[in-house]
Amino acid sequence: MPISIDRFDEDPPDALDFQEGSQPYRVLQFLAENDEQAFTQTELHEATGIKRGSVGAVLSRLEDRGLVRHKGRYWAIGIDDRLASYAAQTKASSDSMSDDYYGEE
């Protein structure tokens, strides 16, 4: 889908721009919501519903951009100011939806 030239010119080059629902978006969203843990590719497959064979490719592309990190078999959200902001927004949105659905405790 094309974008306007104004948006093209105005968007900062380091903005996190992932289409909602895309595989990279789903992986980053899950890792941002669980930023105090690290997961195996199998666990990411089970949590996100992304095909097992596609998870590794998604993680590799995200790692190339510095958005995720890994040690051995485990993957976690990257250490980046953009991601800290993204994780905070994701958690706030998730908490807000939980409060709306379940009510405040």
Q: Which tokens in the block code for residue 92?
A: 């706030």
Question: How many beta carbons lie within 10 A of that of residue 67, not counting itself?
Answer: 23
77 phi and psi angles, rounded to 5 deg: -60, 145
- Residue range of the domain that includes 74: 21-94
Residue 54 lies in a domain: yes
Which of 63-67, 68-72, 85-89, 92-96 has the highest average model confidence (pLDDT)?
68-72
pLDDT of 104 strictly over 80: no
Give this prediction's pTM.
Answer: 0.67
pLDDT tens per residue across span 30-80:
999 999 999 999 999 999 999 999 999 999 999 988 899 999 999 999 987
Domain harbouring 32, CATH code: 1.10.10.10
Q: Which tokens in the block code for residue 41?
A: 């590719």
